[in-house]
Amino acid sequence: MAAVVLIFAIRRHYAAQQVRDEYGIPEGELVYADLGEPGDALFSENYRISGKPDYVLRDEMTGAHIPVEVKSGRAKKPYWNHILQLGAYCLLVEERYGTRVPYGILVYGDGQQHRIEFTDVIRSQVLSTVDEMRRCLQSGAVRRNHNAPVRCANCAYRAECRFSLEGD
């Protein structure tokens, strides 16, 4: 039985290392993963939001938990919507692990990494964006903001979206 547990631990270590190498994810204890094997969604009772970061690392030096989001596209600088998404993950990680998140990491398809400090300004912007989204949903004023069928095809809400371009 001990040998089976050891083999499982070794396989998990090498699988995690392979993903780190592929996406350029920094060292640290991998405490959550949603790439490869789907992870459970993180949920915030305080903010009533949920999400699934690709990874959460625990910095072995500071004990801080760091969300990592991997994007398939390329970017010279991070897109604002990606920063807000990462900021929402920072809120979720703070609540899940009970520690302040100092920063998160965006990793783009070309391996480019961006360390995004989780500042009070970003925290505030995430919360005001969530409030705005709720107001739009309640008022029925939700509209598609693009004309790209591929974005609709990859959207998690395409099945219930009356504005979807998928299949057009």
Instruction: Locate 26 and state its tokens.
Output: 């920094």
Cβ proximity of 55 and 92 under 8 Å: no
* Planar angle of CA 152, 155, 156, nearest 5 degrees: 145
Judging by beta carbons within 10 Å of its beta carbon (0-12, 13-18, 19+), is residue 165 exposed, middle or buried? Answer: middle
Give dist(CA 161, CA 36) in Å, integer: 27
pLDDT at 151 over 60: yes
Please state whether beta strands 29-33 and 55-58 pair in parallel, antiparallel, or not at all (unpaired): antiparallel
Q: In the β-sheet with 29-33, what is the strand arrangement from edge to edge?
A: 29-33, 55-58, 65-70, 103-107, 113-117
pLDDT at 85 over 70: yes
pTM of the model: 0.78
Strand partners, 70: 107
pLDDT at 102 over 90: yes
Give dist(CA 94, CA 81) in Å, integer: 20
In the chain, the percentage of residues whose pLDDT exceeds 90 is 46
pLDDT of residue 86: 98
Instruction: Locate 2 and state its tokens.
Output: 């001990």
Show me where the domains of the chain are located.
Answer: 1-118
- Name the phi and psi angles at 114, rounded to 5: -130, 120
Indicate the pLDDT class of residue 76, thresholds 50, 70 and 90: confident
Cβ proximity of 105 and 116 under 8 Å: yes
pLDDT at 97 over 80: yes
pLDDT of residue 158: 78
Indicate the pLDDT class of residue 129, thresholds 50, 70 and 90: very high
Specify the CATH number of the domain 1-118.
Answer: 3.40.1350
pLDDT of residue 161: 82
Cβ proximity of 9 and 18 under 8 Å: no
- Convert the pLDDT of each residue in 32-70 to its tens digit: 888 777 889 999 999 999 999 999 999 888 899 999 999
Indicate the pLDDT class of residue 9, thresholds 50, 70 and 90: low
Give dist(CA 28, CA 62) in Å, integer: 10
